[in-house]
């Protein structure tokens, strides 16, 4: 019963959140008007370069992760790593966050490497993304303060929640307890098998994570990071050119949309279902494309969010099928 409950909480809740957000955003949308917008206000040829740029973002991510894997002496060819990235996003569409575990398991199993060390390299990979999003958010905030203040004024609970979390005594107690536990784990001399096993696991995780500091090609790592996030930005910028009512948006407006959508992707839903749409629709409302309202939603903003997300999701499915086919053929061979 506990196992069933755990599975429901882990995989059912994200689906419920995503579907709930979609229902909230689209329950009052005039579907016929949205179809008319998609038929008359969109130049679909713009999505060809969007797809190309999106694929390149995955390739750059694979190149960056290969640097980290080599730092822990896991010398995997590029093609399997690219397949692991394609597969990660496809798995995440069904089981949020499980794709990261899957790619680590695939590479560790293929190369007969330490799973926890590979996970550590993946954690460093994702942490660098978190730092990048934070830096982009701060940079964009200074360039477009009015847009962010509008967001916080519209959702004061977000601001209150962030301030509350930072100033809460519970947060600081949890941090102190966590640090104390880690210090005790690494300094204590014990023969307890469970403690030794945990200590070994934490050490392997740290080795994989710390590899980023002593690996070869640090500047390449930085360049690949810029390329990854540059691709993410440009695929949204190019997608905006496809719509008659967003093609005139400035690069700064697209940057605000990009940052808001990146933050929205932090909500654990299947492939950003609902969360990405909400961030984009709200961002468009800041720049005059409709208003952000569940009772009277804007058809154009809703169509933009649904189409762009839909094409990206379809691409992830196709890439996932390609990746798993290549992996199956490789195993058979």
pLDDT in tens, 307-319: 999 999 999 999 9
For 215-250, how does the pLDDT look when each residue is reduced to its tens digit (9 = 90+)? 777 889 889 999 999 999 999 999 999 999 899 999
Average pLDDT over residues 261-271: 76
Contact 42/34 with Cβ under 8 angstroms? no
Q: Note down the domain range covering 103.
A: 45-332
In a domain, 30, yes or no: no
In a domain, 322, yes or no: yes
In the predicted structure, residue 68 carries a pLDDT above the cut 80: yes
Average pLDDT over residues 151-178: 69
How many domains does the chain fold into? 1
In a domain, 165, yes or no: yes
In the predicted structure, residue 48 carries a pLDDT above the cut 90: yes
In a domain, 28, yes or no: no
Q: What pLDDT is attached to residue 47?
A: 95
The C-alpha atoms of residue 303 and residue 42 are separated, in whole angstroms, by 10
Note the pTM of the prediction, 2 decimals.
0.79
Least confident of 83-87, 161-165, 245-249, 272-276: 161-165
In a domain, 163, yes or no: yes
CB neighbours (10 Å) of residue 135?
11
In a domain, 11, yes or no: no
In a domain, 212, yes or no: yes
Q: What pLDDT is attached to residue 55?
A: 96
Residue pointed to by tokens 């468009």:
284
The C-alpha angle 314, 130, 251, rounded to 5 degrees, equals 65
Give me the sign of the Cα torsion angle 317, 275, 139, 150. Answer: positive
Contact 312/41 with Cβ under 8 angstroms? no
> Residue 290 in 3-state DSSP?
coil
Contact 220/242 with Cβ under 8 angstroms? no
In a domain, 135, yes or no: yes
């Amino acid at each position: 019963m506990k196992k069933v409950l755990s599975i429901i909480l882990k995989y059912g809740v994200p689906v419920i959140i995503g579907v709930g957000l979609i229902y909230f955003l689209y329950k009052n949308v005039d579907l016929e008007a949205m179809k008319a917008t998609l038929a008359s206000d969109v130049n679909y040829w713009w999505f060809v370069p969007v797809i190309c740029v999106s694929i390149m973002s995955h390739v750059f991510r694979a190149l960056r992760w290969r640097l980290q894997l080599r730092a822990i002496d896991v010398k995997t060819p590029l093609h399997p790593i690219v397949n692991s990235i394609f597969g990660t996003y496809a798995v995440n569409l069904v089981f949020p966050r499980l794709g990261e575990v899957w790619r680590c398991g695939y590479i560790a199993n293929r190369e007969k490497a330490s799973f926890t060390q590979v996970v550590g390299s993946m954690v460093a990979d994702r942490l660098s993304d978190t730092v990048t999003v934070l830096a982009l958010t701060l940079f964009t905030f200074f360039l477009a303060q009015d847009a962010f203040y509008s967001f916080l004024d519209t959702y004061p609970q977000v601001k209150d929640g962030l301030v509350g979390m930072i100033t809460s005594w519970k947060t600081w107690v949890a941090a102190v307890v966590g640090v104390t536990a880690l210090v005790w784990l690494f300094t204590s001399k014990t023969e307890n098998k469970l403690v030794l096993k945990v200590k070994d696991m934490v050490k392997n995780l740290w080795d994989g994570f710390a590899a980023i500091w002593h690996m070869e090609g640090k500047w390449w790592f930085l360049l690949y990071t810029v390329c990854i996030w540059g691709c993410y930005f440009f695929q949204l910028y190019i997608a905006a050119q496809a719509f008659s009512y967003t093609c005139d948006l400035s690069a700064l407006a697209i940057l605000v949309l990009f940052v808001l959508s990146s933050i929205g992707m932090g909500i654990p839903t299947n492939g950003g279902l609902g969360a990405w749409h909400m961030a984009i629709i709200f961002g468009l409302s800041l720049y005059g494309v409709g208003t952000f309202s569940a009772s009277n939603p804007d058809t154009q903003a809703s169509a933009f969010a649904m189409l762009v997300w839909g094409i990206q999701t379809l691409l992830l499915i196709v890439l996932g099928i390609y990746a798993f086919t290549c992996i199956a053929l490789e195993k058979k061979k």
